[in-house]
Structure 1
Amino acid sequence: MAYTEAQLAAMVRGDSVHRAVYTDPAIFDLEMQRIYGRAWVYVGHESQVPKTGDYHTTRLGDQDVLMVRASDGRVHVLYNRCPHKGAKVVADGDGCAGKFFRCPYHAWTFKLDGSHLGVPLKQGLEGTAYDPADPSFSMRRLPRVESYRGFVFASQSAQGQELEAFLGGVRSSIDNLCDRSPVGEVEVAGGIFRVMQRSNWKVFYENLHDTMHARVTHESSYAAARDEAKEIGEMPLELHIMDGNGEPYEFWEKLELRAYANGHGYMEGIFNPGAAERDPVSRAHFETLTAAYGETRAREILGMNRHNTVIYGSGSPHTVFQQFRVIRPIAVDRTMIEIQTFRCKGAPDGVFKRAMLYANVINSPSSNVMPDDIELYNRCQEGNATRGGDWVSMHRYHGTDRSDADGMVSQNGTSELPMRNQFHAWKTYMEAGAAPTGAAGTGDQACC
């Protein structure tokens, strides 16, 4: 079905959205053009391509792309396609191309920035329109690539906000994640979890700040944690992490939910293992940061307690446990979640071990927590495919949100402000039509 801008706009009300936004493949295709075709989207971290020729493959919307460290030290993002027959130049995953890319099909070669380098038996192309200086014979670069404190974002559109303006208030979450290192730098470490979920990509974003679901959806895991703690006579961190979902509604109502432009936001933390005096790992971390920044600043850094920051279109960095849940749409009912864990350079080893523990307990495909969410996401997908009703509710505390200089803040921690804010951004993107194309140049055309 072809949708007009008016029809798309009518799918988002102030307090509800039409179920088709989760189930219609035609809408998914438009999202890939109008959201992922113009927004800044997280591609990867510079630490994943430390040396010249190192590359990391991923997806930006429905496009296969690769991030590569070129010979000049810059990071580029290229479409993973050879201009000859269209073959993917490198296989999925990470690797090192060496000094140049070589297509495995017919051995066309390209510089690390994607520029055309050469072809075998060039004499067979003499007298034709083949021109190595023609950008159409190069691997196409994404027109805009920027790094914020090592986090690399790219946009398929040559026009739009600068990255820092796009990120707005959630820049402070990335800052805090990095500042937890005494040298201000983090690196991807410890491997990456990947989980395919049978649901629309937007459901995951909504759930990240859905405080009403925790004690219901995760009852089995927090009940098991409490039973285990009772049996052993203590509540170690791995059980405490699961137990946090079982807090009473009064606890969740007191949390702050913050919403920013472009669909971004954050939820106040459930617990803060980084408190300076809590345990040996935290004390050692505090002492390391104090030596680097001074006591006042160290307390500020460890005192920032945010749970599941949302960078709409990219995913969710978690500052306290140093991770980034990257959200990649695959199809209208399929979403790939990639969990990257970060090491704070120069911090005590216990800080990284604690981050790994959290990732395994909460994010692992075999954890006691994530399967609860995955099951319910799929139930939402299947339920919204029925004729049982057309509208999905976002009514909780509608009309009570407060505006301030930075954006919006909820009156109550169980508010559905984050969902409403995300769909406000969705509607803005979708009403704007197709993304503008990039300017002509060596590989700099945007794909829309």
Structure 2
Amino acid sequence: MIPTNEQIAALIREDSVHKSVYTDPTLFKLEMERIYGYAWIYVGHESQVKNPGDYHTTRIGDQDVIMVRGANQQVSVLYNRCPHKGAKLVADGDGSVGKFFRCPYHAWTFKLDGQHLSAPLKSGFEGTCYDPKHPDFSMVSVARVDSYRGFVFASQAAFGPDLKTFLGGVITSIDNLCDRSPVGEVEVAGGIFRVQQRSNWKVFYENLHDTMHARVTHESSVDAARGQAEAIGEMPFELLIMDGNGEPYDFWEKLELRAYHNGHGYMEAIFDPGAAERDEVARAHFECLSQAYGAQRAKEILGMNRHNTVIYGSGSPHTVFMQFRVIRPIAVDQTMVEIQTFRCKGAPDAVFDRALTYANVINSPSSNVMPDDVEVYARCQEGNMTRGGEWISMHRYAGTDKALEDGAVSTNGTSELPMRNQFAAWKQFMTATLIAKESTHAA
């Protein structure tokens, strides 16, 4: 039975949420309709489809879609379905279809924008309602597609705010990621990691700004990094980025947490911004940007020191180390995380090498850090299936957040403001208050 809006709203309190938001398959199905069926969701980067016919497959909620570069150089997002028998037109992954899509089942073909092109033995359709110009015989496009600085987003709803409005304040994180290139452009490079997690998709979003877990969950990797550093007599970059999780609580309490509307936000970076004056790679990056933008602007770009940004429903860009952790829900207790690494065009090769190192040490399936998180996410999922209690606490510094025009900011870096903000957005989406309002405006 589908819960009423009142029943859904009752699952979210000011300082806690009911555990069913992580465990109930019915709620998960509604999330696919009311969140992923409405919000702007990151599909991929234009650099993944460089030439006409290039495609990248992914998902918007529970829907398989294809991002493809058209003959006119425009990027489209189509549902991965042939209108004849419903077969997926292309297998999961990246590739090129050439000049047109061809179904592997009966060889129906479609233009790169999804329009019907041809079907074998057309004489068999004589006297029927078959019309190659009718929409029923073409691939279906996702309702709205937009790109911001090469980052392609799509919304399955024909109405609602435009992409820039939806992103709000976190759009500056995308700007900063691109501005770290002296030509203002980035590209996906170096391969993509994929990690399947045995937990609900929302747990990862919460953890991205959970500063209280780092020194506890990652204790083993911090100890290993410090032990190795002591053994070799120095703390190289590979160990430094593991050691960062071991900072004392008073360090985390000083960090800024910013929350925006629609569940978005960011966490201030945990690495010393002054390192640019001491680090060879950072100095080379600064010199490169100074030549392109001037020293003052280069300082501003590199001085925007954000660790994890949350684009709710899509994932988390990391501007300093040029990553995008794309979060895809698979089932109520299964989540796929795809880690994309970006190259800043025109920047020194060492900058990209460092981004790859960070991805391997922190985000890869074989890292010493990510398995810590994956384990505790699974434990949360399993624990919430027991009868050990009904509510999830989000009480830290509740009631102390400072309201801003575009969102809120925490009074303490260990606040659970980000979690409360995400569930405020969840409640709006799930009770259809946002959707109903936008639908009325569209009418």
TM-score bucket (shorter structure): over 0.9
Match of 2:286 in 1: 286
Aligned pairs for 1:423-434 within 5 A? 423-432=423-432
Match of 1:446 in 2: none
Per-residue deviation, residues 324-358 of structure 1 (Å, max 9, x unmatched): 00000000000000000000000000000000000
Per-residue deviation, residues 393-440 of structure 1 (Å, max 9, x unmatched): 00000000001233100000000000000000000000017968xx9x
Task: Check conservation: 1:149, 1:185, Cα contact below 8 A.
Answer: yes
Match of 2:6 in 1: 6
Letter in 1 for 2:377: Y
Q: Distance in 2 between matches of 1:273 and 1:434?
A: 39
Match of 1:418 in 2: 418
Q: Distance in 2 between matches of 1:414 and 1:316?
A: 19
C-alpha deviation, 1:273, in angstroms: 6.4
Task: Check conservation: 2:273, 2:303, Cα contact below 8 A.
Answer: no
Match of 1:160 in 2: 160
Letter in 1 for 2:318: H
Task: Check conservation: 1:34, 1:433, Cα contact below 8 A.
Answer: no
Per-residue deviation, residues 266-316 of structure 1 (Å, max 9, x unmatched): 000000468432211111110000000000000000011001100000000
Aligned pairs for 1:299-378 within 5 A? 299-378=299-378
Per-residue deviation, residues 16-36 of structure 1 (Å, max 9, x unmatched): 000000000000000000000
Q: Select the structure with the greater relative contact order (CA < 8 A; seq sep ≥ 6).
A: 1
Aligned pairs for 1:104-123 within 5 A? 104-123=104-123
Q: Distance in 2 between matches of 1:316 and 1:278?
A: 28
Task: Count residues with an aligned counterpart.
Answer: 438
Structure 2 residue 251 is the aligned partner of structure 1 residue 218? no
Letter in 2 for 1:6: E
Match of 1:239 in 2: 239
Match of 1:206 in 2: 206
Unmatched segments (≥5 aa) in structure 1: 440-448
Q: Distance in 2 between matches of 1:151 and 1:347?
A: 19
Per-residue deviation, residues 20-56 of structure 1 (Å, max 9, x unmatched): 0000000000000000000000000000000000000
Letter in 1 for 2:419: M
Task: Check conservation: 1:274, 1:282, Cα contact below 8 A.
Answer: no
Unmatched segments (≥5 aa) in structure 2: none
Per-residue deviation, residues 233-270 of structure 1 (Å, max 9, x unmatched): 00001100000000000000000000000000000000
Match of 2:45 in 1: 45
Letter in 2 for 1:185: E
Per-residue deviation, residues 380-403 of structure 1 (Å, max 9, x unmatched): 000001111000000000000001
C-alpha deviation, 1:73, in angstroms: 0.7
Q: Which runs of 4+ in 1 moved over 3 A?
A: 272-276, 433-436
Secondary structure of 2:276's match?
Answer: coil
TM-score, normalised relative to structure 1: 0.96
Match of 1:60 in 2: 60
Q: Distance in 1 between matches of 2:168 and 2:70?
A: 29
TM-score, normalised relative to structure 2: 0.97
Letter in 2 for 1:190: G
Q: Distance in 2 between matches of 1:5 and 1:318?
A: 35
Match of 1:442 in 2: none
Secondary structure of 2:91's match?
Answer: coil
Per-residue deviation, residues 100-153 of structure 1 (Å, max 9, x unmatched): 000010000000000111100011011111111110110000010000000000
Match of 1:388 in 2: 388
Secondary structure of 1:194's match?
Answer: strand
RMSD: 1.4
C-alpha deviation, 1:204, in angstroms: 0.2
What percent identity do the matched residue pairs reach? 77
